Amino acid sequence: MASDATTPGEPGGEPGEFAHLDERGQARMVDVGAKPMSERSARARARVELGAELRARFLGGRLGKGDGPAVARIAGISAAKDTARLIPLCHTIQLSSVAVEIGPGADEDGVEIIATAKARGVTGVEMEALTAASVAALAVYDMCKALRRDIRIGPIELLEKTGGVRGDWRRVDGAT
**Is 168's pLDDT higher than 50?**
yes
**Is 4's pLDDT higher than 50?**
no
Question: What are the tens digits of pLDDT across the range 103-154?
Answer: 998 888 999 999 999 999 988 999 999 999 999 999 999 999 999 999 999 9
* Residue partners of 144: CB distance under 8 A and separation at least 6: 50, 54, 58, 63, 68, 151
* Residue 51 region by backbone torsions, left for phi larger than 0, else alpha for psi between -120 and 50, else beta: left
**Is 7's pLDDT higher than 50?**
no
Question: What are the tens digits of pLDDT across the range 8-60?
Answer: 444 444 555 667 777 787 777 777 877 888 899 999 999 999 999 999 999 99
* Residue partners of 24: CB distance under 8 A and separation at least 6: none
Give me the domains of the chain, ranges plus CATH numbers. 1-35 (no CATH), 38-170 (3.30.70.640)
- Catalytic site includes residue 142: yes
User: What number is the average pLDDT over the span 83-106?
Assistant: 94
Task: Report cis status (omega within 30 of 0) of the bond before 155.
Answer: yes
Q: Which of 107, 142, 150, 173 is catalytic?
A: 142
- 114, 45 Cβ separation under 8 angstroms: yes
Residue 106 phi, psi (nearest 5): -65, -30
